[in-house]
A and B are shown apart, each in its own frame.
Chain A
Amino acid sequence: MKMAELHEKALKMLTDRGVEEAIVTLYETEESSVRYANNEPTVAFSENISTLTIYSSIKERCFVGSFENVSEDFLEKIVDDVVTLTKNTPPTPFYAPLPRGVFNYRAGKRVESRIRQLDEQLVSHVSEAVRASREAGAERSAGILYSSHMVEKLSSSTGLSLQEEFASLTLNHRAFASPEATGQWVSCSTSLEGFNPYEAGRKAGEIAVASLNPVLIDEGTYDVYMGPLIFANMMSEVARFASGFLVQIEMSFMTGKIGQKIGSEKITIRDDPTMPGALGEKIFDDEGIPTQKTIIIEKGFLRNYLHNSRTAKLAGASSTGNAGIITPHPWNIVVEPGNVKEENMMQKLGKGLYLTNSWYQRYQNYRTGDFSTIVRDGAFYVEDGKVKHPVKGIRISDNLQRIISNIEELSDRLYPIKWWEVTTPTYVPTAIIRNVRITKAFGY
């Protein structure tokens, strides 16, 4: 039996055995990747995996599961377990009926099928990125290049039968001009034409070389110019906190703030899986609802949380097409660009810090948004709109709502960012943020 038939068979078996509502989704993933360090490949991966996810409910008793022991032999056991667990679960007040109705799905999504067959060619793309960093003056490079292809097939007891295909290339490249002078850049694309490993290698190399001989600075409050990587880190966190689930368990600084001004008038953030060709383009969510463009923050005002049917019911709202069965989440985060030319942003900053990347963001309190994060890769002290010298050993120790409230300018260009630290595709401009609290370690 073909995989395509397996999920439909699972759905039929579940409904035949008394499951009232079910969504069965099959994900067929093919992924190749090359990791590299010290300018050479360290390992090449290939993955060929099928995953079946099942949501089932009987009289408001709910089960969610994920199965990677997918074969006809196992199907009987999977279905048995799902039915038994669903029946034995107490009813949940968080239950919401599966959405029904006539849905209109966007047509015309284009997928670059050639990405699927790259395999050994990935090594030459890696080689290109490494060469570019060397030409820029960096000693060595490390990174990973993924080529991913996935087909998602969803069938539900409400009569849905949907299919969507995805393909992307994502390169995360870090260049080292010395152990403490590093630069990082990414190239992420859903098309071969839009993928540019050389450019990622060159930019990472240039940042690394500019970071040579960094110095310590005083801690305090600085105006900061954030490049696309660090700003994507911040904004993907902001958008993540709009999840109705996180809001409802008070794991979000946005809890209870709909309609309130929580950011600068410059900031508008939306989840936009309808963006053609975007890394996070998505036609339907995990409940089979058509996805949509949802404004999260509009000119500083919190407009919407991201909902699935469950969190929407609890909030007295409608689903925004962001299921996750349990946890709604953004698909494709977009920060509205500003109108300042990127080349003028440093001049607008005047005096302060230019930061290119951050990593390891942790919270003292999710409800308040108090956090700190390590500044890594290129970080520079700026005066009169010009870089004076690189800096090292600093951390942003601030509050996420304060950060978005202090956004003063956004540039006019969007960068697509997806990497180890930003797992949801995020499109951001660069940003000037006033009065950012910077700390450093005792003992330097």
Chain B
Amino acid sequence: MNDIVELSKKILDYAVAAGASYAEARFHSDSDKGVALKNGEVEAVRASYEFGIGIRVLVNGGLGFASTNMLKPENLTRVVDKAVKMARASSYLKSSRICFSEEEAYSVDWRVSEKKRLEGWSLNSKIEFLKNLDKTAISQGVNVSSRYIGYSERRTERVYANTEGALVSALVPRPSFFALITVADHSKGVIQRTLQFGGSGGMEVVESWRLEEKLGDEVKTLHKMLTESVKAPEGVMDVVVGSEVAGIISHEASGHPGEADRILGREGAQAGESYLKAEDLGRKIGSEAVNVVDDPTIPGSYGFYLFDDEGVKARRKFLIKEGRICEFLMNRETAARLGVKSNGSARASRYSVEPIVRMSNTFILPGDHSLEELLSGVAKGVYVKSFMEWNIDDKRWNQRYVGLEAYMIEDGRITRPVRNPVIEITTEKLFSSVDAVGKDLNFVAATCGKGDPMQGMPVYTGGPSLRMRNIMVRGVG
């Protein structure tokens, strides 16, 4: 640790001497171990270790980023030289200089503790754990024609330092689980479900997922949806969605469009821009029942952090408050452009990529309705509890969610299962149609993709059940 801090200081000094007005160095290590079972048998054990440095510099208002995992001093100076050279070259074409918001320079070490250490969980025990889960999946009395399930644990360690005096070190262990389940029926065909669980912490996090129970339930539900569901109703009607659907809505229709780099055009060629403009704070986008936050400080969460990858202290952000756009997600560059301070939303997925504006745990805040109360107000509609297919346009306006577990609602009660109801709707229409919010807050782990080079980032999506009035539902097939 001390060696790394000393090395960081030397690198920063060298960068300044080479012409950088600002520099930061991030030593970033990820170790990942995992095992996957294909139809109950071990496919292979795998591991990946990464350890390298990302160096970012500002030179004449141009931004350069260089990375390497060859950490000999002579190579590091070459890498700094390259970052400076590339930043300087790009500065010649700039009409305005990039600068960063002024922030407090913290010197802090933060780490996620493991109540039950993951290292104490042997490889054989993990394989046994997965085999038992697989047995659970195939012992539900239905034809599970294919299973691919896996467990992995990633340990991320970082030491971040910049020329303003910040020094932040961190350690986060993240266990995760995934499954792809295919259930078949000789006359009805096949149905599929992907599942992902993740969190930060130790074995206690894995235990909290109650995977055996959930996997068994999922398999039974898939069989029911495959064999008993009828064509979804079509037309304008009321819809109640479960936490899983509310979570993806919060992520796609509020989180992404609220990323300030998209709003300012920096992601224009890849993930796209946003329906929001810089002057849209306060804009009404939904009913007063809609409140969306992004909060990296939730203990045990998959998107947990206390300081971001620019050394800025993390905090909860209200993205939508009572139906109005409240705050954007910002790093230091976008905050400076907007004339405010960063709200600690800069994350880098590995040493070799720059920190960019990212979500952490994005969710719709719960209200006070029970599910029964939400349903009781619906004469005819659908209840969409889970989904498989979804997408949204690159301004985050036009989105589609296709239900997996879904039911008719008739006279306030859940009745028949329905097949793949489709909600295809604009963001404003969606949020404006929400008239009641459940009190059942739940989270789903996900890996959010953004950036070029692509960065996969661990996040939670989440929310309570939501009731939407008078929206279009369609069926598939």
Bits for A351-374, please: 1 = Cβ < 8 Å to B, else 0.
000000001111111111011111
Q: How far is the CA of A367 from the CA of B181 in the complex (A)?
A: 11
Question: Does A94 reach chain B (CB closer than 8 Å)?
Answer: yes
| Chain A: CB-nearest residue to B52 | A68
Q: How far is the CA of A336 from the CA of B74 in the complex (A)?
A: 49
Question: Does A44 reach chain B (CB closer than 8 Å)?
Answer: yes
Bits for A38-57, please: 1 = Cβ < 8 Å to B, else 0.
10111111111111000000
Bits for A77-91, please: 1 = Cβ < 8 Å to B, else 0.
010011001101110
Contact A366 B41 (CB under 8 A): no
The smallest beta-carbon distance between A437 and chain B, in angstroms, is 10
Contact A89 B49 (CB under 8 A): no
Identify the stretch in B15-23, B107-115, B188-196 within 8 Å (CB) of chain A at 4 or more residues: B188-196
Question: Does B221 reach chain A (CB closer than 8 Å)?
Answer: no
Contact A90 to B42, CB < 8 A, known contacts A48-B79, A144-B269 = yes
SS of A interface (majority): strand
| Chain B: CB-nearest residue to A421 | B270
Question: Does A276 reach chain B (CB closer than 8 Å)?
Answer: no
Identify the stretch in A58-66, A225-233, A290-298 within 8 Å (CB) of chain B at 4 or more residues: A58-66
| Chain A: CB-nearest residue to B430 | A443
> Contact size class for A?
35 or more
Contact A65 B47 (CB under 8 A): yes
Contact B269 A174 (CB under 8 A): yes
Residues of B within 8 A of A361 (CB): 391
Identify the stretch in A245-253, A279-287, A381-389 within 8 Å (CB) of chain B at 4 or more residues: A245-253
The smallest beta-carbon distance between A414 and chain B, in angstroms, is 23
Contacts of B1-59 to chain A: CB distance below 8 A: 29, 33, 35, 38-39, 41-52
Contact B65 A94 (CB under 8 A): no
Contact B45 A439 (CB under 8 A): no
Residues of A within 8 A of B424 (CB): 395, 439-442
The smallest beta-carbon distance between B7 and chain A, in angstroms, is 14
Most chain B CB inside 10 Å of its own CB: which residue of A43, A371, A439: A43
Contact B265 A46 (CB under 8 A): no
Question: Does A69 reach chain B (CB closer than 8 Å)?
Answer: yes
Q: How far is the CA of A370 from the CA of B419 in the complex (A)?
A: 13
Q: How far is the CA of A397 from the CA of B48 in the complex (A)?
A: 37
> Contact size class for B?
35 or more
| Chain A: CB-nearest residue to B41 | A93
Residues of B within 8 A of A141 (CB): 269
Contact A420 B65 (CB under 8 A): no
Contacts of A103-136 to chain B: CB distance below 8 A: 119-120, 122-123, 126-127
The smallest beta-carbon distance between B254 and chain A, in angstroms, is 16
Question: Does A140 reach chain B (CB closer than 8 Å)?
Answer: yes
Q: How far is the CA of A8 from the CA of B228 in the complex (A)?
A: 59
Contacts of A122-177 to chain B: CB distance below 8 A: 122-123, 126-127, 140-144, 172-174, 176
Question: Does B352 reach chain A (CB closer than 8 Å)?
Answer: yes
The smallest beta-carbon distance between B36 and chain A, in angstroms, is 8
Question: Does B472 reach chain A (CB closer than 8 Å)?
Answer: yes
Q: How far is the CA of A373 from the CA of B82 in the complex (A)?
A: 39
Contact B394 A359 (CB under 8 A): yes
Contact B266 A44 (CB under 8 A): no
| 21 A-B residue pairs with CB within 8 Å | A46-B83, A48-B67, A63-B46, A65-B48, A71-B70, A85-B45, A89-B35, A90-B124, A92-B43, A94-B38, A94-B41, A119-B86, A119-B89, A172-B452, A179-B273, A184-B269, A250-B145, A362-B390, A397-B400, A397-B476, A441-B425
Contacts A48-B66, A326-B46 supplied; 8 other A-B pairs, CB < 8 Å: A49-B67, A63-B47, A71-B71, A88-B123, A94-B38, A142-B269, A250-B190, A442-B472
- The 10 A-B residue pairs with the shortest CB-CB distance, nearest first, are A443-B429, A142-B268, A44-B86, A41-B90, A443-B426, A442-B472, A120-B89, A69-B51, A250-B146, A364-B389
Chain B residues within CB distance 8 Å of chain A: 29, 33, 35, 38-39, 41-52, 62-72, 75, 78-79, 82-83, 85-87, 89-95, 98, 123-124, 127, 145-146, 148, 180, 182, 189-192, 264-270, 272-273, 352, 354, 388-395, 397-400, 402, 404, 420, 422, 424-426, 428-430, 452-454, 471-472, 474, 476
Chain A residues within CB distance 8 Å of chain B: 32-35, 37-38, 40-51, 62-71, 74, 78, 81-82, 85-86, 88-90, 92-94, 119-120, 122-123, 126-127, 140-144, 172-174, 176, 179-180, 184, 248-251, 325-326, 359-368, 370-374, 376, 393, 395, 397, 420, 439-444
